[in-house]
């Protein structure tokens, strides 16, 4: 390099910036090369002389140049110094106007659950008794008290006309943490992030705790929304079975003997779709082996507060080893889009950064209304809701005993939203659904709930999705469909 | 392989499933190996004999085995067939209980904007005149009419007690599309997805249209929330300057000569932070060169409906070449968290899948209330808001002329939320902020708005974030801080 002038770009360095100096140099040279200010073949100053003129250490310039080499923007040869490369990359092929731009998009991980979430969020079919959606029953209704809560906060500009903190509305985080502590969980507001529904929490952990190609452990069957998210994120699900006592922890143990998955995703209380609640022995064991393996547990607990007895969640056993997700969608209303996560402090900021990127902050207005509702009406509503769920299951069991052949088995666990049934070998759930829809009833067939093939002999009935007095009639129609298939 | 029995796993194939048969075989063998059902060194049947027994083609088994080889789960040797590998992977090192699990998390792309979004969403400091947050002014207030809209929909269980469609509430999508058409944009409800704020749309395009490592074009300065999202997603931003007439399209052209970025991110109307609106010539040119290069434009338009004259957005010029994002956060209230995107139909499903993963669906309750508000109160509110913005800018210009030295320059374009000012060389914006905060006024310094180093001589004042009668006093306090720094 000439010791004399360098007529090219002289980076403007901000020595107070949090951006490292090497990166400031790199980025300004990069822009200059990309925009043509430094044309191809331009000789760059030697590292030493450039460092002198910029009043930085030589290693700072070395590092900046190295990044440019990696980008293919400059070339370095021993003895000949550094030059702007002939082109940064091969010149892009001329684009044909006839080809739409989306043809060359990056490949798309959709896999086998192309639109499952969409199906779950689907419309209620008119005239059909649809046991499809996992929504709370129409009675007991939270609407009256909820409208009052919204009206109370609607006039406060601080709650409607601002974004609020990304981690959530302070009084709501306090209220959530207090309720967690009442369930035996040592968590504070500082461990809590308010979410726009708990689905958001599943996406946050999928993108924050793992990378595409990583393995995770899931239950089989499991919540299809979660399976779809894991698939979109390129995670490889190792499926572990669920029985009436919850996840088969002995299978988890076998997997952990040879694999190191990024996390274990489980819904231990009122599991979707089987309604199973993991027993105390398995909970203890799962936490023990997960800790020993250094693999965190992601506990998805949308239904936990509705479990008969309200047993403590897994996170109570190991607050620092569990990322806990829950929501008010099942206990109050899905239209709120308010959920939360609890996590160890050291990873909270990482999780929060994703939450911010997904939607900046959850509606402060909705958060404030939920806070008000929690104080005034929530406990009574949940108590009535639990009773309603037990009553609905009783009605369903009675109708099944009347209208379905005994070769159909319904899952034992009660108390939640779902009834999980197994068909006899000769009847496939998908064919049964087709027949039932013709007779005016619908449900979800098992396939969507399995990370692996399976579920062809299972069906899920959301007993909450219909009016209480439609349960028996809906089950009767499915019974009629069974008869039609068998004859 | 012996022609006789294979005592190992016999995959259970579902021939009606959408899951390909090779994948069913692969996944069931994979689980069997991982859980130890097929122990290390177990010989697998030959591809031919296994295919016969499963009644599938040989190539189906070949493909399933190949996937298992890629996973390191089986080994194949010519002449010796296939065996379960000694271990699927090296046995995981025994985890030390003393090391917390988060120490081994995947690396975290945070870069230089660790918590910028958080700062933007920060609390209002009491007692300080804070020009920080990009929120709508307190007057004209939408609160009265908005409360009525919420009250109207609060009693309808279909709007509160269900999730609704992921793409959004039908009547709202219709209303949005009609308003887009009124602005000269040929878009239908079928091109529209309702978002939980337009930040969500930025994350959707960042994850749907590009992959980590890909290049994109951004404006410099630009919205820090977008820059942070692009960084989290591992995208490499090529920065192009903005002047009083908007993005320097000649720079875009220079970049496109040698690079093929995944998209061009621009805020062409009332740009944040400069308030610039791109002129008509540049709009035409940008669309022309982007089409020729086959690079889509992501138009972020939160402030567009407030622009004096309400000029048609970029998407009006090339509906099939632009992904358009906007929001009601600036025109009604950020607490709603309701925004939208418009995109060509062929990529809508891809974008929708991400939206679902981020939060399933935007609050149906909020969407229904916005729909009602749009019908009754929106147009008048926006008209008053435009007048208020012009008035505030007049007040600010007058105060600046009185209290700031003439070496400070304010950006020319008026009408939006922001005033972008340039300090003289001897005054750094960050030092000025420190001094101003001591005197009871705050703003954002320019650094956060640059994808590259820069901004040390810029500040952004959100004129909307304070009460109207505080504008002059806040600017006076900053003037006092300037005097303090100069003396």
Residues of B in contact with A320 (CB under 8 A): 100
- Please tell me the predicted confidence (pLDDT) of residue A6: 75
Would you call A232 and B353 a contact, using CB atoms and an 8 Å cutoff? Answer: yes
Q: What is the mean pLDDT of residues B398-413?
A: 93
Residues of B in contact with A360 (CB under 8 A): 117, 120-121, 197, 199-200, 225, 337
Task: Compare CB distances from B27 to A12, A87, A453 and report the shortest one's residue.
Answer: A453
Token pair of A477, please? 């129609």
Percent of chain A past pLDDT 90, that is, above it, reads: 62
pLDDT band of B93, cuts 50, 70, 90: low
Short-list B85, B82, B87, CA closest to B51: B82
pLDDT in tens, A433-446: 999 999 999 998 88
Taking CA–CA distances from B455, the nearest residue in chain A reads: A14
Taking CA–CA distances from B136, the nearest residue in chain A reads: A161
Which of residues 335 through 394 in chain B touch A, CB cutoff 8 A? 335-337, 344, 346-347, 349-350, 352-354, 356-366
**Residue A3 belongs to a domain:** no
Is A243 an 8 Å CB contact of chain B?
Answer: no
CA distance A305 to A379: 10
CATH label of the domain that carries residue B280: 3.40.640.10
Would you call B291 and A115 a contact, using CB atoms and an 8 Å cutoff? Answer: no
Would you call A14 and B453 a contact, using CB atoms and an 8 Å cutoff? Answer: yes
**Over 60: is that where the pLDDT of B454 sits?**
yes
ipTM of the complex, rounded to two decimals: 0.82
Token pair of A53, please? 């003129």
**Does B43 lie in the same domain as B131?**
no
Is B15 an 8 Å CB contact of chain A?
Answer: no
**Does A371 lie in the same domain as A438?**
no
Task: Compare CB distances from A106 to B211, B232, B294 and report the shortest one's residue.
Answer: B211
Would you call B357 and A232 a contact, using CB atoms and an 8 Å cutoff? Answer: yes
Which of residues 249 through 288 in chain B touch A, CB cutoff 8 A? 251, 254-260, 262
pLDDT band of A201, cuts 50, 70, 90: very high
pLDDT band of A94, cuts 50, 70, 90: low
Taking CA–CA distances from A320, the nearest residue in chain B reads: B100
Is A334 an 8 Å CB contact of chain B?
Answer: yes
Is A10 an 8 Å CB contact of chain B?
Answer: no
Q: What is the DSSP letter of A11?
A: -
Which of residues 41 through 100 in chain B touch A, CB cutoff 8 A? 87-89, 91-92, 95-97, 99-100
**Over 70: is that where the pLDDT of B95 sits?**
no
**Does A344 lie in the same domain as A231?**
yes
Q: What is the mean pLDDT of residues A17-30?
A: 79
Short-list B432, B459, B22, B258, CA closest to A86: B258
**Does B401 lie in the same domain as B254?**
no
What are the backbone angles phi and psi of residue A443, rounded to the nearest 5°? Answer: -155, 180
Taking CA–CA distances from B251, the nearest residue in chain A reads: A35
DSSP A171-199: HHHHHHHHHHHHTT----GGGEEEESSHH
CA distance B27 to B21: 10
pLDDT in tens, A356-378: 999 999 999 999 999 999 999 99
**Does A266 lie in the same domain as A131?**
no
Would you call B161 and A335 a contact, using CB atoms and an 8 Å cutoff? Answer: yes
CA distance B419 to B397: 9
CATH label of the domain that carries residue B388: 3.90.1150.10
**Residue B254 belongs to a domain:** yes
- Please tell me the predicted confidence (pLDDT) of residue B87: 59
- Please tell me the predicted confidence (pLDDT) of residue A26: 85
**Over 60: is that where the pLDDT of B302 sits?**
yes
What are the backbone angles phi and psi of residue B379, rounded to the nearest 5°? Answer: -60, -45
Q: How many CA atoms lie within 13 A of B219 on its CB side?
A: 33
* Domain endpoint, select from B323, B353, B376: B376
Is A425 an 8 Å CB contact of chain B?
Answer: no
**Does A358 lie in the same domain as A275?**
yes
Is A15 an 8 Å CB contact of chain B?
Answer: no
pLDDT band of B94, cuts 50, 70, 90: low
- Please tell me the predicted confidence (pLDDT) of residue A476: 98
Which of residues 103 through 132 in chain A touch B, CB cutoff 8 A? 104-106, 108, 110, 112, 114-115, 117-118, 120-124
pLDDT in tens, B310-320: 679 999 999 99
Q: How big is the A-B interface in CB pairs under 8 Å? A: 376
Range from A19-28, A59-68, A188-197, B297-306 carrying the lowest mean pLDDT: A19-28
Neighbours of A263 (CB within 10 A): 23
**Residue B184 belongs to a domain:** yes
Q: How far is CA A378 from CA A78, A138, A371, in A?
A: 73, 16, 10
Mean pLDDT for chain B?
Answer: 88
- Spell A68-105 as b/e; 16+ CB within 10 A means b: beebebbbeeeeebbbbbeebeeebeebeeeeebbeeb
**Over 80: is that where the pLDDT of B5 sits?**
no
Q: What is the mean pLDDT of residues A187-204?
A: 96
**How many Å lie between the alpha carbon of B143 and the closest alpha carbon of chain A?**
6
pLDDT in tens, A250-276: 999 999 988 899 999 999 999 999 999
**Over 80: is that where the pLDDT of B111 sits?**
no
**Over 70: is that where the pLDDT of A230 sits?**
yes
**How many Å lie between the alpha carbon of A402 and the closest alpha carbon of chain B?**
31
Mapped to the 3 state alphabet, what secondary structure does B418-473 carry? EEEEECCCCCCHHHHHHHHHHCCEECEEHHHHCCCCCCCCEEEEECCCCCHHHHHH
**Does A450 lie in the same domain as A313?**
no
**Residue A7 belongs to a domain:** no
**Over 50: is that where the pLDDT of B31 sits?**
yes
CA distance A235 to A208: 12
CATH label of the domain that carries residue A79: 1.10.10.10
**Does A95 lie in the same domain as A157?**
no
Give the residue, A464 or B76, on which the prediction is more confident: A464
**Residue A199 belongs to a domain:** yes
Regarding beta strands A129-130 and A441-442, do their DSSP bridges make them parallel or antiparallel, or are they unpaired? Answer: parallel
**Does A407 lie in the same domain as A269?**
no
Question: Which range marks the domain in which residue A40 is found?
Answer: 21-104
**Does A312 lie in the same domain as A281?**
yes
Would you call A135 and B321 a contact, using CB atoms and an 8 Å cutoff? Answer: no
Q: Is there a contact between B85 and B75 (Cβ–Cβ < 8 Å)?
A: yes
pLDDT band of B487, cuts 50, 70, 90: confident
Give the residue, B444 or A174, on which the prediction is more confident: A174
pLDDT in tens, B228-261: 899 889 898 999 999 999 999 999 999 998 889 9
**Does A372 lie in the same domain as A416?**
no
Residues of A in contact with B434 (CB under 8 A): none
Taking CA–CA distances from B365, the nearest residue in chain A reads: A335
CA dihedral over A331, A332, A334, A339, signed as positive or negative: negative
Task: Give the global pTM.
Answer: 0.83
CA distance A475 to A480: 9
Percent of chain B past pLDDT 90, that is, above it, reads: 61
**Residue B10 belongs to a domain:** no
- Please tell me the predicted confidence (pLDDT) of residue A447: 80
**Residue B3 belongs to a domain:** no
- Please tell me the predicted confidence (pLDDT) of residue A40: 84
- Please tell me the predicted confidence (pLDDT) of residue B121: 43
Would you call B160 and A335 a contact, using CB atoms and an 8 Å cutoff? Answer: yes
> Which of B101, B196, B333, B452 to mutate: most A Cβ within 10 Å?
B101
Mean pLDDT for chain A?
Answer: 88
pLDDT in tens, B364-377: 999 999 999 999 99
**Over 60: is that where the pLDDT of B133 sits?**
yes
Residues of B in contact with A95 (CB under 8 A): 292-294
Would you call A165 and B229 a contact, using CB atoms and an 8 Å cutoff? Answer: no
Taking CA–CA distances from B363, the nearest residue in chain A reads: A335
Neighbours of A189 (CB within 10 A): 19
Residues of A in contact with B239 (CB under 8 A): 27, 31
For residue B258, what is the enclosing H or E element?
A: helix B249-258
Would you call A347 and B102 a contact, using CB atoms and an 8 Å cutoff? Answer: yes
- Please tell me the predicted confidence (pLDDT) of residue A205: 97
The distance in angstroms from the start CA to the end CA of chain A is 91
- Please tell me the predicted confidence (pLDDT) of residue B4: 42
Short-list A3, A6, A229, A266, CA closest to A109: A229
* Domain endpoint, select from B79, B104, B129: B104
Q: How many domains does chain A have?
A: 3
Neighbours of A197 (CB within 10 A): 27
Would you call A92 and B293 a contact, using CB atoms and an 8 Å cutoff? Answer: yes
pLDDT in tens, B179-214: 999 999 999 999 999 999 999 999 999 999 998 889
Token pair of B146, please? 């908005």
pLDDT band of B1, cuts 50, 70, 90: very low
**Does A462 lie in the same domain as A360?**
no
Is A452 an 8 Å CB contact of chain B?
Answer: yes
Is B199 an 8 Å CB contact of chain A?
Answer: yes
Task: Compare CB distances from A19 to B12, B254, B453 and report the shortest one's residue.
Answer: B453
**Residue B365 belongs to a domain:** yes
* Domain endpoint, select from B376, B399, B429: B376
């Amino acid at each position: 390099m000439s010791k004399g002038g360098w007529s090219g770009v002289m980076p403007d360095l901000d020595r107070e910036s949090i951006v490292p100096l090497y990166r400031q140099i790199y980025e300004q040279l990069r822009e200059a090369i990309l925009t043509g200010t430094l044309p191809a073949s331009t000789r760059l100053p030697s590292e030493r002389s450039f460092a002198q003129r910029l009043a930085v250490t030589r290693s700072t310039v070395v590092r900046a140049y190295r990044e440019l080499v990696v980008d293919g923007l400059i070339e370095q040869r021993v003895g000949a110094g550094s030059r702007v490369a002939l082109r940064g990359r091969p010149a892009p092929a001329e684009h044909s106007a006839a080809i739409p731009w989306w043809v060359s998009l990056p490949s798309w991980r959709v896999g086998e659950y192309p639109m499952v979430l969409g199906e779950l969020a689907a419309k209620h079919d008119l005239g059909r008794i649809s046991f499809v959606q996992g929504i709370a029953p129409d009675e007991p209704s939270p609407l009256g008290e909820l409208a009052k809560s919204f009206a109370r906060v609607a006039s406060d500009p601080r709650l409607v006309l601002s974004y609020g903190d990304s981690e959530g509305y302070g009084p709501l985080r306090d209220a959530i943490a207090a309720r967690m502590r009442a369930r035996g969980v040592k968590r504070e507001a500082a461990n809590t992030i308010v979410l726009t529904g708990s689905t958001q929490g599943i996406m946050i952990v999928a993108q924050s705790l793992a990378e595409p190609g990583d393995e995770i452990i899931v239950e089989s069957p499991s919540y299809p929304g979660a399976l779809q998210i894991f698939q979109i994120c390129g995670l490889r699900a190792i499926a572990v079975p669920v029985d009436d006592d919850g996840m088969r922890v002995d299978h988890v143990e076998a997997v952990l003997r040879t694999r190191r998955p990024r996390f274990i995703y489980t819904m231990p209380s009122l599991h979707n779709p089987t309604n199973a609640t993991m027993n105390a022995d398995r909970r203890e064991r799962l936490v023990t082996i997960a800790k020993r393996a250094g693999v965190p547990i992601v506990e998805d607990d949308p239904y936990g507060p509705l479990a008969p007895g309200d047993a403590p969640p897994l996170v109570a056993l190991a607050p620092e080893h569990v990322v806990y997700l829950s929501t008010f969608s099942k206990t109050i209303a899905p239209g709120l889009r308010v959920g939360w996560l609890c996590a160890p402090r050291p990873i909270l900021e990482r999780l929060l950064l994703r939450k911010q990127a997904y939607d900046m902050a959850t509606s402060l207005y909705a958060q404030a209304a939920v806070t008000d509702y929690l104080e005034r009406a929530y406990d009574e509503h949940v108590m009535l809701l639990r009773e309603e769920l037990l009553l609905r299951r009783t009605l369903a069991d009675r109708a099944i005993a009347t209208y379905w052949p005994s070769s159909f088995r319904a899952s034992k666990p009660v108390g939640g939203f779902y009834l999980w049934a197994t068909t006899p070998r000769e009847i496939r759930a998908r064919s049964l659904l087709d027949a039932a829809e013709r007779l005016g009833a619908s449900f979800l067939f098992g396939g969507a709930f399995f990370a692996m093939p399976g579920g062809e002999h299972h069906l899920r009935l959301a007993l909450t999705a219909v009016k209480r007095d439609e349960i028996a009639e809906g089950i009767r129609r499915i019974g009629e469909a069974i008869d039609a298939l068998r004859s």
